[in-house]
Amino acid sequence: AQTVTQSQPEMSVQEAETVTLSCTYDTSENNYYLFWYKQPPSRQMILVIRQEAYKQQNATENRFSVNFQKAAKSFSLKISDSQLGDTAMYFCAFGSIQGAQKLVFGQGTRLTINP
């Protein structure tokens, strides 16, 4: 079974700073997807970024980028020029390569951006 571990329960940075959230996972599969989801206080689950394991190039979405280290089973999220609206819980998730992409989530990191 797959497991996902987020070792930072909480983080806090100043607005405009860069912050990196850590995630490690365990799997015996060679091909899979990795995700970061954001959950603001409104409770929505919002997809931030997706990485396909067979792609060596790290995914980026505007201010959000990942550092994917397949051998180390590490998948960190970097938020550049952080904004107050980035304040949220961030969940790392593992998804199977099958059509359903069943998700296994980490416990989450609560990120606070201070003005």
Partner 1 sequence: DAGVIQSPRHEVTEMGQEVTLRCKPISGHDYLFWYRQTMMRGLELLIYFNNNVPIDDSGMPEDRFSAKMPNASFSTLKIQPSEPRDSAVYFCASSQSYQPQHFGDGTRLSIL
Residues that bind partner 1 (CB under 8 A): 35, 37, 42-47, 50, 91, 99-108
Nearer to partner 1, 35 or 86 (CB): 35
In the complex, minimum distance from the CB of residue 107 to partner 1, in angstroms, rounded to a whole number: 5
Q: How far is the CB of 14 from partner 1 (least distance, A)?
A: 28
Q: Which is nearer to partner 1, 82 or 89 (CB)?
A: 89
Count of Cβ atoms closer than 10 Å to residue 92 Cβ: 27
CB 53 within 8 A of CB 30: yes
Residue 14, token pair as written in the block: 């100043």
CB of 17 vs partner 1, minimal distance in Å = 27
Nearer to partner 1, 39 or 76 (CB): 39
* CB of residue 104 to partner 1, shortest distance in Å: 8
| Burial label, 9 (beta-carbon count in 10 A; 0-12, 13-18, 19+) | exposed
Q: What is the DSSP letter of 37?
A: E
For partner 1, give the closer residue by CB, 29 or 81. 29
Distance CA 89, CA 85 (A): 12
